[in-house]
Amino acid sequence: MDVQFFIDVFPEILEGLTLTVSLFLWTLLFSTFLGLVLALMRLSPIPPLRWVSAVYGWLLRGIPLLLLLFYVFFALPEFGDFFILSPFRSAVLGLTLWTASYQSEAIRSGIISVDKGQHEASEALGMSRTHQMRKIILPQSVRIIAPPFTGNAINALKQTSLATVITVSEMTGITRGIISSTFQTVEPLFALALVYLALTTVLVFAQSGLERVFRLKT
Amino acid sequence: MSDFDFDIIRRSWPLMREATWVSIQVFAWSLVLASFIGLLFALMRLSNVRALRWIAGIYVWIFRGLPALVILFFAFFWVGRVLDLTSFQAAILGLGVSSGAYKAEIIRAGILAVDNGQREASDALAMTRAQSMRRIILPQGIRVMIPNYVSNSTLLFKSTSLATVIGLNELTGKSRQLANSTFKPIEILTAAGVIYLVLTSVLVGAQVLLERRYAVKA
């Protein structure tokens, strides 16, 4: 292994870091919102809302993310000019749709794990369903939601690497470019791996930090 | 948007069927490899020997911290070149090694979930550690492992799509080529999605059967 090349290649790969991180943050933001909506729909008293959410989850969890990205990037534009998105936006859309299906399960299981007595007590106090959910149920469920939620978020970070396949040149894409132009594979791959490992390790620490914040004080 | 063209799917079907079979084979072999790695590293993490625990811990940290795509690049561009692997073999290696890290955690959690009394009882019966693991602990741990094990395997099946990036003609990559050459991305990619949905639904069905088979008889 050529150590000098290994060091030289870092700055070039890090140029893609901004793109990787912004893919991740946008995905995290949108998928959290969509995941919450889907979870509440799944728990709604209105059957059609429940069905839509269940079918969504079944569809999105049943196909590979890569296929979904191809669909967004190649098939969606056929439905009209409105759907012609930049590679970056296509990637955020695909990653969001996919991650939301997992986040909705994490959020739903957190909500249903809140003790039934809490529902009944807030009802007895004359709270409306939305009021209950916002003030009583969700704050308590956050504790249970946090671990799978951050797990999904870490997966989303790793999956931003797939955006390279629809021509977004984030870190993985840049690394592929270096490999094909220099024919050196080991050094750029190790450099890339180190950056990802650093990112995911930071997130794992954030995860245990979060869990500590939400732990019940006894 | 033009009308949905079923004829193009019918004509592409022979190629797609072939590619589906490649996906299934990659899945089956990498599942075998991942299960073997998972069991090995789970036992190492629970070992009395500190060095073994460390090695297994580092393995899990690294391979869960990296995107599967990056691991595939390593398997293909680095190990694959040294050992002269085909993209089919490199895909099995990369996916197996990556999924193995998750399987190790799932198997470890299953083993830890078995009541300590069982271990003590088998100690009292003078069983060796290996005996008690094989005869007492693992058979009971399997029950806890099944749900996570199968859903992780479903993820693995979907991850086989990544192998297109290292040049394997599996279902997702083949469909993308067909979508390009026929100019019918909606039809072809939808057909691929249906194939994935059917196959992942089969896996979910297998999970239900397995859970029933290993359920505690009341």
Report residue B156 as tokens. Answer: 């693995």
pLDDT in tens, B136-159: 888 888 888 988 899 899 999 999
What CATH number should be reported for the domain holding residue B47? 1.10.3720.10
How far is it, in rounded angstroms, from Cα A54 to Cα A48?
10
Choose the closest CB to B67 out of A74, A79, A158: A158
Mean pLDDT of chain A: 91
Contacts of B68 in chain A (CB under 8 A): 158
Report residue B154 as tokens. Answer: 């479903």
Describe chain B by its helix, strand, coil percentages, rounded to 5: 85, 0, 15
Cβ contact A67–B74 (<8 Å) = no
pLDDT of res. A218: 65
Burial A65-95 (b: 16+ CB within 10 A, else e): bbbbbbbbbbbbbeeeeeeebebbebbbbbb
Residue B60 belongs to a domain: yes
pLDDT for residue B62 is more than 70? yes
Cβ contact A201–B61 (<8 Å) = yes
pLDDT for residue A120 is more than 90? no
pLDDT for residue B1 is more than 60? no
Tell me how far apart the 2 most distant CA atoms of chain B are, in Å. 73
Mean local confidence (pLDDT), A127-153: 88
Mean pLDDT of chain B: 91
- pLDDT tier for residue B2 given thresholds of 50, 70 and 90: low
Contacts of B105 in chain A (CB under 8 A): none
pLDDT in tens, A143-167: 889 888 999 999 999 999 999 999 9
pLDDT for residue A215 is more than 80? no
pLDDT for residue B59 is more than 80? yes
pLDDT for residue B218 is more than 70? no
pLDDT of res. A115: 84
pLDDT of res. A164: 94
Cβ contact A65–B158 (<8 Å) = yes
Mean local confidence (pLDDT), A106-134: 88
pLDDT for residue B74 is more than 60? yes
Q: Does the CB of A205 have a partner CB in chain B at under 8 Å? A: no
pLDDT of res. A21: 96
Residue B144 belongs to a domain: yes
Cβ contact A74–B185 (<8 Å) = yes
pLDDT in tens, B158-209: 999 999 999 999 999 999 999 989 988 999 999 999 999 999 999 989 888 9
DSSP state of A133: I
Mean local confidence (pLDDT), B69-75: 95
- pLDDT tier for residue A212 given thresholds of 50, 70 and 90: confident
- pLDDT tier for residue B6 given thresholds of 50, 70 and 90: confident
Cβ contact A63–B158 (<8 Å) = yes
Domains and CATH numbers, chain A: 3-214 (1.10.3720.10)
Q: Where in the sequence is the domain holding B194, given as residue range(s)?
A: 6-213
How far is it, in rounded angstroms, from Cα A112 to Cα A133?
11
Residues 119-158 of A with CB under 8 A from B: 158
pLDDT of res. A64: 95
Percent share of chain A, pLDDT over 70: 99
Residue B35 belongs to a domain: yes
Query: For residues A42 and A104, is the Cβ–Cβ distance under 8 A?
Result: yes
Residue B175: C-alpha distances to residues A74, A175, A185, B117, B134 (Å): 11, 25, 28, 53, 44
Count of structural domains, chain B: 1
More confident residue, B151 or B29: B29
Residue B1 belongs to a domain: no
Mean local confidence (pLDDT), A5-13: 90
* Total Cβ atoms within 10 A of residue B178: 23
CA–CA min distance A197, chain B (Å): 5
Mean local confidence (pLDDT), B55-60: 95
pLDDT of res. A52: 96
pLDDT of res. B65: 94
* Total Cβ atoms within 10 A of residue B55: 15
Q: Does the CB of A48 have a partner CB in chain B at under 8 Å? A: no
Cβ contact A67–B175 (<8 Å) = yes
Contacts of B73 in chain A (CB under 8 A): 175-176, 179, 185, 189
How far is it, in rounded angstroms, from Cα B154 to Cα B162?
14
Which residue numbers of B have CB closer than 8 Å to A's CBs?
1, 61-62, 64-70, 73-74, 77-78, 81, 154, 158-162, 164-165, 172, 175-176, 179-180, 185-186, 189-190, 192-193, 196-197, 200-201
Contacts of B180 in chain A (CB under 8 A): 74
Residue B81 belongs to a domain: yes
